[in-house]
Chains A and B, each alone.
Chain A
Amino acid sequence: MNKRQVKVKSNNLQKETVNKNLNYIDILIGKSVSGNATSEEIEKLESWKNISENNLSLFTRSLKIWQGSEKIISKNQFHQDKIKLESAYSRYLAGKIRNIRRLSFIYKIAAILAFPIAFAIVWHFMGVTGEPEMLPDQICQITSPKGHVSKCILPDGTNVWINTESTIKYNASSFNNLREIHLEGEAYFEVISDPEKPFKVETIFAEVNVTGTAFNVLAYPSDDVFETVLAEGSVNLKFKSGTGNYLHMRPGQRAILNLNDFTIDLQYVDAEMFTSWRNGELIFKDDRLYDLLKELEKMHNVRFHLKDENIGEFRFRGMFSYNNNLIESLEKIKKTSGIDYYIKNKEVWLKKNDIDYQVD
């Protein structure tokens, strides 16, 4: 047996001896406080207690601990309760709130679109569908067709701007009591404040609950996105899937619910950028041509194509008005960025202007 083994062995012996001594009394104490001791054992313990203050104190402390622990909350129960709480306060909504990012708009000014003032502010009602249709049960329905923005005023004075290809519906007879609007598409609301009558916007994906505030809701059923941008006041979003928990939004926030993977992005944005459409303007601050074209497609009801893929990354800053016709918009793009266009089969193609190829 080498030295090392001996050492280990003697340690064990030591431990055993010490343990033996302590344990015997500890065992008696255990039996006594828990009511498992025989009368013999109780007597033994009494005499041991009387030997010294220390002994007595040791026993008393054991007894007090026993009496002081009448209930238990296990680790499991703690974690269960914590999870219950988290789902109750909507920490994990339909998916997860990824992060709250501050979108900083760096104005790398690649092109500034010069904009005649006449175009900037002018606001037309684009004709046709300003008139609400009266359906049975006093249900009012207002629709904006493609390429048009409508504005209407609800019975309570709330202003609603309805974007292209969108519809709102509400029950005129019950609107005084229950301010509920059903929305398909995109609309911007300036809600008259009335704490007694909550205002609710219902879409296929989620509900927006407010008392008085200004906000934008984007919920085209054919897209896979639901978005709300809050300009002023506060709203509660309630998602229709998942746990049905709610998200409380603050001004300057944009909530994007992606219905493909059920995640939620919460961002801080310049609300004006997402709601300027109601004034007949599309504002771009450092946006890619790709994004710009998506909006122009909607506005002019025409399809765009890129002859050269890379021009899609070109950044724009400026404003388009709904009053521009298509050619005016294309000329604007060409003037500021040199990106040329041609129209083929009623669809627009964009390509790099040859002039740009002088760089060596």
Chain B
Amino acid sequence: MTNISDLNIFRNIRKGDEDAFTLLFDTYYVPLCFFANKFLGDMDLSRSQVQQVFVDLWEKREKIDIAWSVKSYMYHAVRNRSIDFIRKNKYKVQLIEDVQDPLQTPFRDLVEEAELNARINDYINQLPGKCREIFILCRFEGLKYSEIAKKLNISVKTVEMQMGIALKKLRENINGYQMINLMTYILTKKK
């Protein structure tokens, strides 16, 4: 399996290697979206902004300065774009209310959080079918157990069990080291 060795990736992309570009996308797209979301507070918006960063990168690929690390380049590009967007769209109001001010938090911490978000996201997507569906309805749509049971035409007991399984599986996947980061992240959140 190809490794995403920094300089090689950029070198190849510069030459127009589409496989290299795809690998870059596969590796960084999701964490970058979570990263952008810390500034923009809207995942749909974050996704489209990150996509634009990739498009821009491809279009001016021959002019890439390959002195930087790929990761650093991508995260900075997304950060700059997000800040630009905020400035142009006076997005500040939502920002202050919902999340910690990303402009105050050290860049590296934000990156690590984003990577962790992406990893959790990955494990959620790997949950078995019904289990994932229930977890998503609960965590992301904010439905109560009884509402979920009604919606999916199952018993509340089933919902309870599946939620238990979901958390257990997620817990097992996220190892101790990552957990430390997670704790730091949670502690600094305002909410």
Residue ranges of A at the interface with B (Cβ–Cβ < 8 Å) = 22-23, 26-31, 33-36, 58, 60-62, 64-69, 71-75, 77-78, 81-82, 84-85, 88-89, 91, 248
Any A CB within 8 A of the CB of B1: no
The residue in A27, A33, A65 that gathers the most chain B C-beta atoms within 10 A of its C-beta is: A65
Looking at the assembled complex, report how far the CB atom of B32 sits from the nearest CB atom of chain A, in whole angstroms.
Answer: 11
Looking at the assembled complex, report how far the CB atom of B158 sits from the nearest CB atom of chain A, in whole angstroms.
Answer: 11
Q: Are A88 and B163 in contact (CB under 8 A)?
A: no
Q: Are B160 and A73 in contact (CB under 8 A)?
A: no
Q: Are B29 and A61 in contact (CB under 8 A)?
A: no
Q: Which of A22, A67, A69 contacts B124 (CB 8 A)?
A: A69
Q: Are A64 and B179 in contact (CB under 8 A)?
A: yes
Question: 17 additional contacts, CB 8 Å, given A30-B163, A68-B120?
Answer: A23-B161, A23-B165, A26-B164, A34-B145, A34-B163, A62-B171, A65-B170, A65-B171, A65-B182, A67-B186, A68-B186, A71-B140, A72-B121, A85-B25, A85-B51, A85-B55, A248-B16
**What CA separation (Å) do A197 and B21 show in the bound complex?**
32
**What CA separation (Å) do A29 and B171 show in the bound complex?**
12
Q: Are B55 and A31 in contact (CB under 8 A)?
A: no
Q: Enumerate chain B residues within 8 angstroms of A77, measured Cβ to Cβ.
A: 47
**What CA separation (Å) do A78 and B59 show in the bound complex?**
21
Looking at the assembled complex, report how far the CB atom of A63 sits from the nearest CB atom of chain B, in whole angstroms.
Answer: 8
**What CA separation (Å) do A66 and B163 show in the bound complex?**
11
| A64-B58 contact, Cβ under 8 Å, with A71-B117, A88-B51 | no
Q: Are A89 and B179 in contact (CB under 8 A)?
A: no
**What CA separation (Å) do A89 and B179 show in the bound complex?**
38
Q: Are A31 and B58 in contact (CB under 8 A)?
A: no
**What CA separation (Å) do A72 and B5 show in the bound complex?**
28
The residue in A61, A62, A248 that gathers the most chain B C-beta atoms within 10 A of its C-beta is: A61
Q: Enumerate chain B residues within 8 angstroms of A58, measured Cβ to Cβ.
A: 171
Q: Are B186 and A26 in contact (CB under 8 A)?
A: no
Q: Are B164 and A29 in contact (CB under 8 A)?
A: yes
Q: Are B120 and A27 in contact (CB under 8 A)?
A: no
Any A CB within 8 A of the CB of B144: yes
**What CA separation (Å) do A78 and B118 show in the bound complex?**
12
**What CA separation (Å) do A71 and B161 show in the bound complex?**
23
| A82-B186 contact, Cβ under 8 Å, with A34-B139, A65-B170, A91-B18 | no
Closest B residue, CB atoms, query A33: B167
Q: 0/1 per residue, B154-174, Cβ < 8 Å to A?
A: 000000110111111011001
**What CA separation (Å) do A304 and B108 show in the bound complex?**
73
Any A CB within 8 A of the CB of B33: yes
Closest B residue, CB atoms, query A22: B168
**What CA separation (Å) do A67 and B170 show in the bound complex?**
12
Q: Are A65 and B174 in contact (CB under 8 A)?
A: yes
Any A CB within 8 A of the CB of B43: yes
**What CA separation (Å) do A67 and B190 show in the bound complex?**
12
**What CA separation (Å) do A71 and B125 show in the bound complex?**
12
**What CA separation (Å) do A64 and B170 show in the bound complex?**
11
Residue ranges of B at the interface with A (Cβ–Cβ < 8 Å) = 16, 18, 21-22, 25, 29-30, 33-34, 37, 43, 47, 51, 54-55, 58-59, 116-117, 120-121, 124-125, 136, 138-140, 144-145, 160-161, 163-168, 170-171, 174, 179, 182-183, 185-186, 189
Looking at the assembled complex, report how far the CB atom of A29 sits from the nearest CB atom of chain B, in whole angstroms.
Answer: 6
Closest B residue, CB atoms, query A250: B16
Q: Enumerate chain B residues within 8 angstroms of A248, measured Cβ to Cβ.
A: 16
| A71-B59 contact, Cβ under 8 Å, with A26-B165, A34-B139, A62-B171 | no
Q: Are B168 and A89 in contact (CB under 8 A)?
A: no
Q: Enumerate chain B residues within 8 angstroms of A75, measured Cβ to Cβ.
A: 125
| A84-B51 contact, Cβ under 8 Å, with A58-B171, A62-B171, A72-B136 | yes
Q: Enumerate chain B residues within 8 angstroms of A30, measured Cβ to Cβ.
A: 160, 163-164, 166-167
**What CA separation (Å) do A202 and B111 show in the bound complex?**
47
Q: Enumerate chain A residues within 8 angstroms of B160, measured Cβ to Cβ.
A: 27, 30-31, 36
Closest A residue, CB atoms, query B119: A68
Q: Are B140 and A72 in contact (CB under 8 A)?
A: yes
Q: Are A68 and B161 in contact (CB under 8 A)?
A: no
**What CA separation (Å) do A78 and B31 show in the bound complex?**
12
- What are the 4 A-B residue pairs with the smallest beta carbon separation, nearest first? A26-B164, A30-B163, A27-B164, A89-B58
| A64-B186 contact, Cβ under 8 Å, with A29-B164, A29-B167, A72-B136 | yes
Closest B residue, CB atoms, query A91: B18
Closest A residue, CB atoms, query B183: A64
Q: Enumerate chain B residues within 8 angstroms of A31, measured Cβ to Cβ.
A: 145, 160, 163
| A85-B54 contact, Cβ under 8 Å, with A27-B163, A62-B167, A66-B139 | yes
Q: Which of B21, B47, B120 contacts A81 (CB 8 A)?
A: B47
| A89-B55 contact, Cβ under 8 Å, with A65-B167, A74-B125 | yes
Q: Enumerate chain A residues within 8 angstroms of B120, measured Cβ to Cβ.
A: 65, 68-69
Q: Are A26 and B117 in contact (CB under 8 A)?
A: no
Q: Enumerate chain B residues within 8 angstroms of A61, measured Cβ to Cβ.
A: 171, 174, 179
Q: Enumerate chain A residues within 8 angstroms of B121, measured Cβ to Cβ.
A: 69, 71-73
Q: Are B138 and A34 in contact (CB under 8 A)?
A: yes
Looking at the assembled complex, report how far the CB atom of B120 sits from the nearest CB atom of chain A, in whole angstroms.
Answer: 5
